[in-house]
Structure 1
Amino acid sequence: MRLASGSTALLLLSVLLHHSASTANAGSLDSDSAALAEFRLAADRSGALASWNLSTTPSPCGGSGIPAWRGVTCGGGRVTRLVLEGLGLSGADALRPLAALDALRVLSLKGNALSGAVPDLSPLLGLKLLFLSRNALSGEIPPSLGALYRLYRLDLSSNNLSGAVPPDLSRLDRLLTLRLDSNRLTGGVDRIALPRLQDFNVSNNLLSGKIPVAMSAFPAAAFGGNAGLCGTPLPPCVETNASSTCPPAAAMAASSPSSKPSESKGKMSRGAVAAIVAADFAVVGLVAGLLFCYFWPRLSGRRSDRRHREGEKIVYSSSPYGATGAVAAAGGGGGTFERGKMVFLEEPGGGGRRFELEELLRASAEMLGKGGCGTAYKAVLDDGSVVAVKRLRDAAPGSASAGSKKEFEHHMAVLGRLRHPNVVPLNAYYYARDEKLLVYEFMPNGSLFSLLHGNRGPGRTPLHWVARMHIAAGAARGLAFIHHASRRGGSGSPKLAHGNVKSTNILIDRSGEARLADCGLAQLSGSSSSSAGYRAPEAPPSRPWASQKGDVYAFGVVLLELLTGRLPGGEAAEELPRWVQSVVREEWTSEVFDLELMKDKGIEEEMVAMLQLALSCAAAEPGQRPKVAHVVRMIDEVRAASCGGASSPSRESSMDESSAVSDSPAVSEGGAVSQ
């Protein structure tokens, strides 16, 4: 083997360093140097790594004007990136020493001639990018790769790998890229379940079986070149007598005329043929009759249901007009009913659309969703105008809704005065003994929840950083207005709280502004209004409750939701604030941020500042939470810093995963109808 200059010193020092690393504590720069030296001895036959010379450059990280070793990047006194692409590196089992680089975040050796098996890389728990494509690696894909739970990109394409795709890869729930194409892999792909996968390719292998529905959204090119694969997006599978699947081409070949016996031993008489044909027709007719008798009642019922849905109205538990009114009672039966009226709450001089209850009952309606306070509908009135109607659920004893009509009307009057660009206005209400309706302005562009969590998969348009900050600022201003609205009533006025701040109650209006919905309905609900994941620790679990400190806690959870892209309460049984705190304590702060934010360069300081603000809002102790006015000022300061430095070329990303996500188009402020 031909070594570059200084090879004797390199070999001697590598042996000494390897020995010292085995006796010293693991995870040091010395152990990194020893691992790199061993890798060079095994892989560099052409002298491409001549700069890896311990006699001239004692540290792979360089220093004091001395450049780092070729392809090596360090951070925190450890080797964190190793990028050696297209350098002609070769040798069997050369990758094994790299498993000692336990601080490595990025490993890219594509375009070389490395051979042998892929080693156990499970010690590299911080690894985020692994590129080993276009080499000569052989053997099976090691199941131990499933332990690299922080991995975003995995590319093993264009090698000589064989065997089945290990189901252990399904543990990589952060994986965005999985490329295994151009190998000799066998078996199926039905056990790969990766929810965030965006770039997937297993083409040109020896795979077989049916493509699972969860992977059918990827293009046909991702599966091509596998004669045994079938199902969307490839041609459909054909069920054989053995209940197996195969592509149509194989099935056609198996049943083609060339495969039938060359000669029949006898001919069938015409009478026998006629009898067989008649029997076939009889059987077909009998089967058709049975199917008709079985399915016709169901089809008729479905058409009836469809006609009912097309003319759907808002159905109430009791109609103020009795059984002969515009809408029959849904179980209320006959009896007497209290006649109510629509009360409009527009400010003086407002020219809002007014209508009677009869017109609202005639409106075609679409149910938007059900929540703790009631059921929401989108209603289209006779003239085509659209409103949102919330039908309140049965009230809890002691709540404003269960109290007197005077108490309810007073509460509605307070809510009707809340007019702000970041609050959904309550325009009208209807009160009867058994029916309470609230009429709001309709928000056409969906909710923050749908923008953040809707369609998390291929083809999704991510919500970028500027849009998230714009929504956060708008929601904070709306909440600050609500908290300060009670001051206008004098010192004796009770403090007003929203009571149910969450991402589904942050709606987007026609101009793209965020607006808080369902304000003040906590006192009208039949149970604790705050949703799981947003409920402050001090909140009682089973009765109506609202406080300004509780609002701040819930808003802190919303900020964490914006930063992490995770559902509150959706991470096993652990609350989102506690999960974020546990990750930050382990000094993996960058791990908490949503992968979709990684394409926005130069925003790390702003994200960290927002993370600190969110955690202070979501403090367990109410007294440690800031006032909402302070929250508004902090968000404005972060936004100003973000806008002021976004175009500065000197602000480079310090996150390893910044290269893990490719650029995507900006998000549209439009979205699905809010729930």
Structure 2
Amino acid sequence: MAAVRLFPLILIIVIVITSLIHLALSVSETEPLMKLKQSFTNADNSLSSWIQNVTPCGNWVGVVCFRNIITGLHLSDLGLSGKIDVDALMQIPTIRTISFVNNSFSGSIPQFNKLGAIKSLYLTNNQFSGPIPLEFFSQLGSLKKVWLSNNKFSGDIPQSLTELDLLKELHLENNEFSGQIPFLKQQMTSFDVSNNKLEGMIPENLVGYGAKSFTGNEKLCGKPLDKACDYYTLPTGGENSGGYLTGLGVKVIVILVFAVAAALIVLFMKNKKRNEHDFSIISRSNSSIDEDQLHQVVQVHAPSSKNSKFSTNSSKKGSSHGEHKSESKRASTTRAGSMGDLVMVNDEKGVFGLADLMKAAAEVLGNGGLGSAYKAAMANGLSVVVKRMREMNKIGRDVFDAEMRQFGRIRHNNILNPLAYHYRREEKLYVTEYIPKGSLLYVLHGDRGSCHADLNWPTRLKIVKGIARGCGFLYTEFSNYDLPHGNLKSSNVLLSDDYEALLSEYAFYPLINPNAVQSMFAYKTTDYTQYQKVSQKTDVYCLGIIILEIITGKFPSQYHSNGKGGTDVVQWVFTAISERTEEELIDPELKNNTSSLNQMLQLIQIGAACAESNPEQRITMKEAIRRIEEVRV
């Protein structure tokens, strides 16, 4: 009975405490909102309800609340201008929606990227201007709606928009954005980039949004617009040049190329330095490849051709380093009439050049942190991928040439090496072969067909061992590098026809501009976010992420810049180990392999040892490889 009599008292106490908490929250939120108001001009009348000592929820115009918790600011049509104090907004962590539609704000975009939890951002009908930093959206993984229309934003569309997995609405119309449309893989319900200064071919996956979403961009071509791309659209010059070779331009250049062929050969005979051409080449790839051959990250499909005059000369040349270097040099000079400034570093698939790429059907594949990727199917039947590396313009030609030739000499079953490269100060081209099966990321998470069905325990273990052997080779070949790989993640692991892992985008760290290295996955690990340092053990951490990804079948949240979305496989695994529930970590699709359960648990322990957050306590790459090799099917 005493307990019954105490119940009303306890209930009253709970109600009082809850009210006090809500009051405290309101008071704590009043101050940053008043600070925000002070940063506006013309706010005294439109925000006259924003008064100190008055609870914002239910009383202040534009303040949206749920159960007395501020969840949004809808300050539309209020004639506001001045500065938006984002630091004040940061003091209200519960805000999910921000709208400043139809006001008079100007200048560069405010630092809303500090508000990592917002889901909707509406800035339509203002006077914001200037470029948006390319990585602006990297920390906003929860964003579902982005409306920046009817402003004066310029420059490239931020590449970081491609990282927003939850994005459903994107409106950039009526601005001054230029450059190419990035590869936006999201399935959006609303999309519009009309009336800008965009150029190039419209990515295939965006065709379904209709012509209206792309009109008003004079240099855009391809479906769904009526304007076809003449031959294909080849970017020329640097990344900001905006120049394109159309059908007439291509014909003129082809004529010029052949017209100067004789002169170039004479120059070669005299050991003169070849002239640099102002061409920026495109490529794609789609031939079937053997497990011993080396491949690349982005891939394509291409029709075959009987025209194989560039592909029959050097596939059986000597493979020693000295011989190969000599052949590579000859490939880039003796055929200068057709090769231009494309330098072959691996001619096992045949020799090709600028003219071949100009005749190829080209298509934009997308954009990554280091540049754009294109695909091209050449007339000789070879399909290749060309990556335009925009973030390597701080290094000289001699250094770049030396690195590319070192890459070209690589011969390892688990390493994808380049076929050719092209040097310009503004950007570099990196040409590789196409792998039909795609990346580990796609096969593990995106494909639900026969390829995914093949991912049984023996296949997954084979992939892990292939990745480890590839890393072992890189740690020998580039032993003096802080990051022998630097960008190790499942999207940069390609799979051959028989599921041999092929590492790509490795050893770029010394070549990348200092201000762009943070686009590499190594800089998104705890080594950098917690300790502000990367080292060879950072690659070990990345290897651990992949191992845990493969054994659990989960998409790691670590691949998102802000950790939003996916599963924190590291935290999940360490929690399960501490609770001795490791078996629950194993991908349900593997649980039929009961005879291999101990081996799967052994691999989980190895992945955890690699993913130890403290680099000092983390195992070395050599030790990780040794342990992986000990695991049996």
The two structures have a TM-score, normalised by structure 2, of 0.45
Q: Between the two structures, name the one with larger relative contact order (CA 8 Å, sep ≥ 6).
A: 2
The two structures have a TM-score, normalised by structure 1, of 0.43
